Every structure is written in C-alpha cells, then in structure tokens.
Amino acid sequence: MTRDQKSLFKSLKKDKHRRAFVDMLIKQQAALGKFHAWPEIYARKCKKKRAPLPGGL
C-alpha cells in the first residue's frame, strides 16, 4: 500500500467502505501482476493486530 492509499484507508469510517477499498487494492495488485503475496501478508498483519479482515480475505 502506498502512503497515500494508507492515508485514504484510515480516513474511511465505515467498514463497508474499508472492505471495498481493500477489494480494490487486491484487484489492483492482480492487474499489475506484482505482489502476488499481498493478500496473505495483509491477512497476517490483520491477524497480528487482531483486526477483522475486510473483504473476506
């Protein structure tokens, strides 16, 4: 996630919007063809912080 994307994510207040944002990031990463492990790394980070996984990762 870029710094701008991280800032935008933090500004989102509703879980619905956060889930949609993470889904968009996953699709963006898939389209770029890089960072195939991003969803797994993000899920691990959420688990470590004991945060719910947005977007059903």
Boundaries of every domain in the chain: 15-50
Any idea what the Cα angle at residue 56 is, between residues 3 and 29, rounded to 5°?
40
Per the CB < 8 A criterion, the answer to whether 43 and 53 are in contact is yes
Please say if the pLDDT value at position 34 is more than 60: yes
pLDDT at 48: 82
Please say if the pLDDT value at position 53 is more than 80: no
Please say if the pLDDT value at position 11 is more than 90: yes
